[in-house]
Structure formats: structure tokens, C-alpha cells
Amino acid sequence: MMRSLFAGVAGLKTHQIKMDVIGNNIANVNTVGYKSQSINFAELMYQTTQSASGPNADTGRAGVNAKQIGLGTVSAAITTNMSAQGSSQNTGNAFDLRISGDAFFIVNGGSGNLFTRDGSFYVDAMGNLAMSSNGYNVMGWQVDENGDIVQDNVSKLQILKAENMTSAPQVTSRANMSGIIDKMDPQVMGDGKIVNLQIYDNLGYSYTARFLVQSTDDEGMYTVTLDDLRDANNDSVIKDTTKKDGTVVKAKYDANIFTGAGFERKDPPTYTNPIMRAKTYTLSDRWNVNPDGTLVSKADDTVTLSPGSDEYAAAWGFTEGWEKFSNLFTSETDADGNRTYTRLGAGLTDMIDATNGTIKVDGYYAEDGKVLKLSYDQISGALQGIDALKNDLKNFFLNVEPLEAGADNPFSMNSAQGEDQGKPGIAIFMDQTTNVNNEKKSTIGALSGDADGFGTGWAVGAMTGVSIQGDGKIYGAYDNGQTKLLGQIAVAKFANATGLEKMGENLYAATLNSGQFDGVGVDVSADGGKVSTGILEMSNVDLSTEFTELITTQRGFQANSRIITVSDTLLEELVNLKR
């Protein structure tokens, strides 16, 4: 029989396969993440009727080419177009994701990892991020106890598990005061300008620290006083209070403010003062006595201290030694060798009360640790220092401790983050305050957190939403204003992505020719790629190309059918020779 019949049949078969490929492309023109395919033909085989011969010098004849007859065509390769990005479709669904670049989402249906460009995801009843079409779990990296991503073997992303539904509370570790202190403000000149500061303990309970800012008799000098600390019910926690029904609520905490410049809270030694009715006092009560138990003498704006030692300075909580302690004062020595120290920049207030013998030295641990002095430059209005004239100290500490011996301190800085751990209290910065004219109205106020927003503290927060960043990191948003990293979507990349095997349901499997998946994956942003939310990648099928291919395929099929028809006619003529 004629070879052309079989060549025609081979042509029909290959064009039929091409039609199948084109038909599949057109059928998936709206399939999410579909990658179009194309087919190439190759010559099937040849029958050689005469081999080629070379030139013959003896006979002078030239060489003759081989005589070969082709036997048709065969499909050589079906290639997936992985490089062309599909068009974008906006959905508005936060869990619909689109990858820019050549990476693949990693999903798992329980029998191994597969790969997809279909980013149509949802969160199931267990809080797992999964494919909408088949429920395969989306794989990624988890968060460690420090809140950092661990790039280990991928696992399913359970983003809405119980511990992620709330944000843990955080103790306030920093605060700042800012605004204007107007010396002509009636409040500042009177009982004091009220400045309230909301803080949180490490269980998320809120408190309000109430400060008073008052002017002194010295120009540019003001006091800041810790007046009260109240809980969320507006009850004082540092003062005994009497309810309307007569119930007395005892104070739970002791609160103090101090500069912390060389000071620390400690249990100082006990001294007996024979002058003060033989009562026993401790330095923690702020009784100002000499190491031998005698009362410090007073002379106008001076206070006489016995020439001391580092141990004496340490007894007052000043850990940097006697020399620096004494440098807080100017000193004079009389003819008898007695040294008199005068506090720098200010007189002493309430020096000695004959009734109870109390004394307070403005600046460090003034009286009971609730008053500090502010010094402002009268040219620029800027803060010069706290607790001493022009000492450049612009912050002080609020320290709260339980009165009950051995009780846990809910304001402990051990639960604060970063450099605030181990600090003596809440650092309150005042460098943004000024002392200028504002038409007799002071605007000074206080906010938790420093100028950069660190150390604010917060209550327990309930999750209000989830967002996915361009690098695949998933964050939870909470009603206390915080965000928490919940995990990161990992992606897979292959040396030869066209070598992946299509598994149906928009899934691919790794093959020997695509390269194997290492189980860890990569960060989508590592080579400039990103994840976009609320967008899906559609099919990359180009209909104009597909319909053009339809025409050429139809004509090819038609031509091959004519080969069979004509070959049949020739055979008919051959059969008719015997008629």
C-alpha cells in the first residue's frame, strides 16, 4: 500500500493532538493561575531507498545524495508557558493572593507537598489557611517564642489558632510629657497644673498617674509632684481612701519619682536619732541624719553634712561614690574644719519640722520621693535639667512597688521589652516641654510611650483583622492597637519550572527534570517577587494566538485528510487496471 496513506494518518493524529492542546487552552481561558500549553511536531521517521555515495576520483563521477522517503509526523513536545504572567483580577478578598515572579505557593493535602499558582485561599474552621477549591493546606514558616520567623521545614499555617486571637498585655515602660508651661497660668501659680498619664501594668490593667506642675519662688523653677495613682475605678492605690459607705480601702502600692542619676532603690541601714525623741527611722523614710545618728543642722539655704565616705553616699542610695554625691552641692570649710554644703541652684524647702523632724532636700528623693524640681532656661525656654540646675537631665522615673512584703510587682520592668528591662521604673521624658508665654494657658500633657512610640504598654487586645504583607508575612491586628506576626507564606522555586507535572485542580508536582523541592522553600521577596492581596492571577491564555493556531491546525488537518483521499483515488485507479 502507498506510504502517503500512513503519512496522512500520522498528520491527522498529530493535528488532532494539537487540537486537543488548543481546546484545553481555550477551555481554561478563565481558570485561576492556569498556564497555557503549546505543541511542537517532529518528523516521524524515514525510509532510505538509496544511501548517499561520495565522489569517485577514479571514475570521475560525483557523489549522490541519499534517497529517503518520510513517513509522516509525530508530536515532539508539549510545553507549558510558565514564564508569562497571567492578567490580574481584583476580588477584594484579603485571602486572595497573587505571586509576582516565577515562584509557586506550597500546599499539602496530606500526601505530600504540591505547588500551585492559584492563590484563592480561605481560613477553615480550625483556623488553617487553605485552598478554596480543594481544601489543601497552605504551607509556610512558623513564629518562635520571640515573635521571629523560623525558616525551617514548611508546615501548615494555622493563623487563627486560640493563642493568636488575643494580643498579650504589656507593661508601660516609657512615657513623655510635652507642651508649654506658662508661668502666668493661674493653675501653675496656684495648686498646680494637673497632668494625667495613663499607664498599664503587666496584666493589662490601666492606671492613671496624676502629676501637679507648680511654680516656685525662683524664676524658671517649677516642681513636678506625684499627687496620686488611681486604678480604672478612679480609686487611689497609693493612699487610703474611704468609700461612701464608710469602708476604708487600704493603699496597695508605694509610688515614687526620682531622676535615677546614680540612685537606686534599696533597703538602707537603720539609724537612731536621739534628738528626735529617741525614735528609730530609716533612710527609706527619708529622715536626713548623719551616720552617727545626729540630726543634720540647718542654716538658711544650707545643710551641713559630716565629711563622709562612699558608704555614707551609698546609704542614701547614691551608688557613684561620695565625691559625686558631694558634687551635688557647693561647699565651704570654716576655721574649725567643718564643711558646709549648699544645694546647687536652689534653696532647701521645709528644712526641719520641729514636730516630726522631717526634712527634704529638693532634687534627690525629695521628702518621700514624690517631688522633683524642673529648671528652664529663661532665654530659650528650654528645659535645662531635672532635680539640679543645668544638669542636662531631661527625664525622671516613676517607680511603683507593692506595700505587701514579698508581693509580686505588676509594674516590674522585667516584662518590658528591650533596653527597659531592669530599669528602676517608667522613664518619663520631658525634653519636649518648654517654659514660654502662651496667654496664661499651659498645654503640658503626658502620653505613654516615648517620642518614637516605644514602651507605651497596652491592655489585652482582641483580633480585629488579618493582613498579608508583600513578603508573605501574616499579621494579626488587635483592638489595643497592636499587631502580631502570625507566620509567613513560603514559596517554592524550580530550576526548570516547565518540567513540573500538571496534576489537575491547578496543582503541580515536582519531577526529576524540574528539580526537587527541599522542604524549606524560599522567601518570595528574595529575588524581588512579592505577594499581592485581594488579587488573583488569571490564565495566561492568549485567545488571539489560540484562534490563529485553530486556523492553521484546521488547515493542516484538512490537508492531511486530502492526502488520504488522493492516495485512495490512486489505489482505486490501480485496482481499476484489472477491470
Position 188: which residue type?
Answer: V
Contact by Cβ (8 Å): 434, 452: no
Tell me the mean pLDDT in the region 249-254. Answer: 88
pLDDT tier for residue 1 given thresholds of 50, 70 and 90: low
Q: Does 186 fall in a domain?
A: no
Is the pLDDT at 362 greater than 60, yes or no?
no
Q: Summarize the confidence of residues 360-374 as an average pLDDT.
A: 53
What is the rounded average pLDDT of the residues 328-347?
48
pLDDT at 70: 85
Residue 184 confidence (pLDDT) above 90:
yes
513 and 486 in a common domain: yes
| CB contact set of 363 (below 8 Å; sequence gap of 6+) | 259, 328, 343, 346, 372, 373, 387, 388
| Beta carbons within 10 angstroms of residue 272's beta carbon | 12
Question: Does residue 40 share a domain with residue 25?
Answer: yes
pLDDT class for 256, splitting at 50, 70, 90? confident
Q: pTM of the full predicted structure?
A: 0.68
Note the pLDDT of residue 174: 92
Question: In terms of Cα–Cα distance, which of 174, 372, 173 is closest to 263?
Answer: 372
Residues 117 and 67 in one domain: no
Please provide the distance, in angstroms rounded to a whole number, between the alpha carbons at the two ends of the chain: 19
**Residue 40 belongs to some domain of the structure:** yes
What's the rounded mean pLDDT across residues 422-439? 86
Please compute the mean of the pLDDT values over residues 326-339 and round it to a whole number. Answer: 54
**Mean pLDDT throughout 254-272?**
52
Judged by average pLDDT, the poorest of 172-181, 190-199, 427-436, 562-571 is 562-571
Encode pLDDT of 216-229 as tens digits.
Answer: 988 889 999 999 99
Average pLDDT, the chain: 81
472 occurs within a structural domain: yes
Domain identity same for 21 and 52: yes
State the pLDDT confidence band at 285, using cuts at 50, 70 and 90: very low
Contact 180, 444 (CB under 8 A): yes
Distance CA 537, CA 117 (A): 7
Q: What are the φ and ψ backbone dihedral angles of 381, each rounded to 5 degrees? A: 80, 5
How many domains does one find in the chain?
A: 2
Confidence of residue 459 (pLDDT cuts 50, 70, 90): very high
pLDDT of 451: 87
Q: Is residue 555 part of a domain?
A: yes
For residue 102, tell me if it sits in a domain.
yes
Report if residue 326 sits inside a domain.
no
Range of the domain at 27: 3-83+541-576
> Are residues 155 and 93 both part of a single domain?
yes
Cα 104 to Cα 497: distance, rounded to the nearest angstrom: 9
Question: Would residue 388 count as lying in a domain?
Answer: no
Q: How does 421-431 read in b/e, with b if 16+ C-beta sit within 10 Å?
A: eebbbbbbbbb
**Residue 519 included in any domain:** yes
Q: Is 396 helix (H, G, I), strand (E, B) or coil?
A: strand
Same domain flag for 24 and 36: yes
Residue 231 corresponds to which cell in the numbers above? 486604678
| 124 and 66 share one domain | no
- Grid cell 531592669 is found at 422
Task: Give me the DSSP letters along 113-168.
Answer: EEEES--BEEE-TTSBEEETTT-PEEEEEEE-TTS-EEEEEEEE-BTT-GGGSEE-
One domain for residues 44 and 103: no
- The number of residues making up the chain comes to 579
Cβ pair 458, 407 in contact under 8 A = no
Whether 55 and 114 share a structural domain: no
pLDDT at 297 over 50: no
Q: In terms of domains, do 498 and 533 share one?
A: yes
Verify that 59 and 116 share a domain, yes or no. Answer: no
Residues 65 and 30 in one domain: yes
Q: What percent of the chain has pLDDT over 70?
A: 78
